[in-house]
Amino acid sequence: MSEYPLPIEELERAIGYTFNDNLILKTALTHSSYANEQRSRGKKTKCEFNERLEFLGDSVLSLIVGEHLFYRFKDSPEGYLTKVRAAVVCSKSLAMLAEKINLGAYMLFGKGEEENGRTNPKILENAFEALLAAIYIYSSHSKDNVEKFLIQIMENEIEEY
């Protein structure tokens, strides 16, 4: 029996946010390979996966980081703010943030992705964005909970830049 995925409650502790109803969090942690495998097995209920959440999470990420940088670096010109934002929200940075919370260990994958998916930077980046969207939606579209988690985990990257 596989040791993965790890219990969602452990992820909730790692991110400092609790979902009373885990459905949206499970969707954020579901890779399309798992959903496609379930469909091919004839599951009658539709298995949602994280791509739509990833789309929204990308926008939430950009807004929160942009706003944070705007107020934190009050005397910095637009060009500098753009460079910092690009550096901290790039694929490599987001994959590293996902690794910080061991996000891949909580994900559902189909057999084809199970072996390498948990460490694949692109999959981790996408899942991280989906997680941000899940927090955003679950908190009634309030960016405060997302911001609390995101800026805390991202602070070192901002400082390093």
Respond yes or no: is residue 155 known to be catalytic. Answer: no
Are 37 and 18 in contact by the 8 Å Cβ rule? The answer is no
Respond yes or no: is residue 129 known to be catalytic. Answer: yes
Dihedral pair phi/psi, residue 153, rounded to 5° = -75, -25
Catalytic residue among 37, 129, 147, 157: 129
Residues in the chain: 161
Helix residue spans in the chain (DSSP H):
8-15, 23-28, 32-40, 51-72, 78-88, 91-100, 111-114, 121-138, 143-160
Catalytic residue among 54, 58, 113, 147: 58
> What is the three-class DSSP state of 91?
helix
Active site residues: 58, 129
